[in-house]
């Protein structure tokens, strides 16, 4: 049987409630958009496979609730991620200001090697947050930002995770591993199953 992927890893969507994390994910995996805001409860995930430089990359994308009351739960997922999207809404300065808080939580709870990308969502709206502030922030924190389309945004972070783990991947490949699971899913079956059973509740679009 042909193998389904060469490498699997986990990405996490973080940001205030309402910035559009669930919609970003649904547009990426199912090409669907729904106008209503139904807050995510805890966490939810979807999978997608991309091909990058001839490598089949399976990504498991975790959509976290932006609401404060779920943050104890969602923080538990940081340390299992290889890449993080810090999402804000370009029409909400407040959501951009809160990025500092999200980023410092990532620094505290996520592995050092984690790759981050800043995403300004709702680019179809006319009000845009202050670009000088954005530039200052991204250069200070060395976090790249993106104004690309959805697929490009997910692909860009996946490329960065691949590049960050290249040495380990090469070693694993040389030792004959067929499918390389950076997310080490087998250790977390309970977590995985619980989230899967909640999927219909958390993400309807």
Ligand X SMILES: Nc1nc2c(ncn2[C@@H]2O[C@H](COP(=O)(O)OP(=O)(O)OP(=O)(O)O)[C@@H](O)[C@H]2O)c(=O)[nH]1
List of residues contacting ligand X (CB under 6 A): 15, 17-23, 35-37, 39-40, 65-67, 121-122, 124-125
CA angle (29 as vertex; 202, 201 as ends), nearest 5:
10
Give min distance, CB of 124 to ligand X, in A. 5
Q: Which is nearer to ligand X, 86 or 161 (CB)?
A: 86
Q: Which is nearer to ligand X, 121 or 155 (CB)?
A: 121
Q: E strand or H helix at 75, and its extent?
A: helix 71-78
d(CA 52, CA 157) in angstroms, rounded, equals: 11
C-alpha 57: how far from its chain's center? Answer: 14
Give min distance, CB of 23 to ligand X, in A. 4
Give min distance, CB of 188 to ligand X, in A. 22
Give min distance, CB of 20 to ligand X, in A. 3
d(CA 70, CA 169) in angstroms, rounded, equals: 34
Q: Which is nearer to ligand X, 17 or 181 (CB)?
A: 17
Q: Which is nearer to ligand X, 6 or 89 (CB)?
A: 89
The alpha-carbon radius of gyration of the chain (Å, integer) is: 17
Give min distance, CB of 29 to ligand X, in A. 13
Q: Which tokens belong to 85?
A: 């999207």
Q: Which is nearer to ligand X, 21 or 116 (CB)?
A: 21
Q: Which tokens belong to 95?
A: 């959501």
In DSSP terms, 44 is beta-bridged to 63
């Amino acid at each position: 049987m042909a193998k389904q992927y060469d490498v699997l890893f986990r990405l996490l969507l973080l940001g205030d409630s309402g910035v559009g994390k669930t919609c970003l994910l649904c547009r990426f995996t199912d090409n669907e958009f729904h106008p209503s805001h139904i807050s995510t409860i805890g966490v939810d995930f979807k999978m997608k496979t991309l091909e990058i430089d001839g490598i089949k990359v399976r990504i498991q994308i975790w959509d976290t609730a932006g609401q404060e009351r779920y943050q104890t739960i969602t923080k538990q997922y940081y340390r299992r991620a290889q890449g993080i999207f810090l999402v804000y809404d370009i029409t909400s300065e407040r959501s951009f200001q809160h990025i500092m808080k999200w980023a410092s939580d990532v620094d505290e709870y996520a592995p050092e090697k984690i790759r981050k990308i800043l995403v300004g969502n709702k680019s179809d709206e006319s009000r845009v947050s202050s670009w000088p502030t954005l530039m200052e922030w991204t250069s200070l924190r060395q976090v790249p930002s993106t104004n690309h389309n959805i697929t490009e945004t997910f692909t860009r972070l996946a490329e960065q995770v691949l590049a960050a783990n290249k040495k380990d991947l090469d070693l694993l490949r040389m030792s004959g591993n067929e499918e390389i699971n950076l997310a080490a899913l087998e250790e977390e079956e309970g977590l995985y199953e619980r989230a899967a059973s909640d999927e219909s509740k958390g993400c309807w679009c």
